[in-house]
Amino acid sequence: MYRYVINRLLFLIPSVLGVIFILFLVMSMTPGDPARILLGDAASQEQIAELNHQLGYDLPFLEKYGRYVYQVVVHQDFGVSYFTKQSVFEEIWPRYIVTVKLAFIGVVLSSLIGIPFGIYTAVRQYSLWDTIPSLIAFFIAAIPSFVLGMLLLYLFSLKLNWFPSYGIESFTSYIMPALAVSIPPAAINLRFTKSSMLESIRQDYVRTARAKGASESTVIWKHALKNALLPVVTNVGMSLGNLICGAVVAEKLFSIPGIGSLIVDRITYKDEPVIIAGTILISVCFTVVMLLVDLIYAYIDPRIRAKYARVKG
């Protein structure tokens, strides 16, 4: 088991190297250059070439890649932003925390809303308690998340004036972005939990448990739910990717200083150090979460635990 975790963590190294490589590759295909954007149209060709040289932008693709990796690994330095001239790490870290917070709230909230409703709708299949939440979830799954965010903004900030419509000054300003981020994945969680639960309720072991006279709550909670939760856990982990997408949208919509919106803004400026460092942080976070999901999986399911144990021995 430990060996497995260590292996997975070690895989982070090639993974991050690969991410940097892909990003440099995509960036090298991009037209335009940072110096042109920084100096404006009035600048002469020589000035632009000189600034690009200073920034290290004009290096060949592979050399740039090599230097960047060297700089990060040996000096633990993410470089300096082309655009603001500030240390990239200092610039992105606080924003990274904001986004991670938002995504974390999103994971928790969407699970807390989606999973219980999913269980309930499955247990009460075909009743009104199934139809109404399922229908709502069905429509939410078909609405773009930014429209949902816009509606929230309109209703709670502009009409009712309950929550601030931008920034993250206080606790209350987190409420709306958190809702905007977690409602769409909550709908997906509901649908997913419901179908997983329905499948598990029809299994033989549930019938056996009923036949042996176990109470309805024991059957649902101990026999059906335990097995139904496995795919749900994976789904929650996988939804992190969507949550980051949702976070970018929410950051834009509610003007929150997060890392997603920063990267979106800097892509137009070709601010390579910020884009690459930001993406590395996000993908490391993503990989670690996926590892956690696998570990939780093994914790819940003894069959998987047994498999790891055998590999180890």
> Given the rule CB under 8 A, which residues bind another protein?
11, 14-15, 18-19, 22-23, 26-27, 29-31, 138-139, 141-147, 150, 154, 158, 194-195, 198-199, 241, 244-245, 248-249, 252, 260, 263-264, 267-268, 275, 279, 282-284, 286-287, 290
Q: Which is nearer to another protein, 139 or 299 (CB)?
A: 139
Q: Smaller CB distance to another protein: residue 151 or 215?
A: 151
Measured from the CB atom, the residue of 178 and 248 that comes closer to another protein is: 248
Q: How far is the CB of 75 from another protein (least distance, A)?
A: 24
Reduced to 3 states (helix: H, G, I; strand: E, B; else coil), residue 117 is helix
> Do 279 and 23 meet the contact criterion of CB atoms below 8 Å apart?
yes
238/296 with CB nearer another protein: 238
Provide the total of helices (H) and of strands (E) in the chain, helices listed first.
Answer: 15, 0
Residue reference for tokens 């956690």: 292
DSSP 130-161: HHHHHHHHHHHTTS-HHHHHHHHIIIIIIIS-
Residue 229 C-beta: closest distance to another protein, Å: 16
Residue 87 β-bridge partners: 80
Distance CA(244)–CA(103), nearest Å, equals 6
Quick one: CA dihedral 195, 102, 93, 62, positive or negative?
Answer: positive
Residue 56: strand, helix, or coil: coil
Contact (Cβ atoms closer than 8 angstroms) between residue 205 and residue 223: yes
Q: How far is the CB of 141 from another protein (least distance, A)?
A: 7
Measured from the CB atom, the residue of 75 and 303 that comes closer to another protein is 303
Round to whole Å and give the CA distance between 12 and 282: 12
Half-sphere exposure of 245 (CA within 13 A, CB side): 10
Q: How far is the CB of 44 from another protein (least distance, A)?
A: 26
Nearest approach in angstroms of CB 41 to another protein is: 19
Shortest spacing between CB 59 and another protein, in angstroms: 18
- Tracing tokens 């949550």 back to the chain, one arrives at 243
Nearer to another protein, 59 or 214 (CB): 59
Nearest to 76 by CA among 289, 269, 280, 288: 280
Shortest distance in whole angstroms from residue 212 CB to another protein: 24
- Rounded Cα–Cα distance for residues 159 and 143 (Å): 21
Residue ranges in 215-300 assigned as alpha helix (H): 216-218, 225-253, 259-269, 272-300
Cβ 244 to another protein shortest distance, Å? 4
What is the smallest separation between the CB atom of 29 and another protein, expressed in angstroms? Answer: 5
Beta carbon nearer to another protein, 62 or 143: 143
Q: Which is nearer to another protein, 101 or 214 (CB)?
A: 101
Nearer to another protein, 225 or 248 (CB): 248
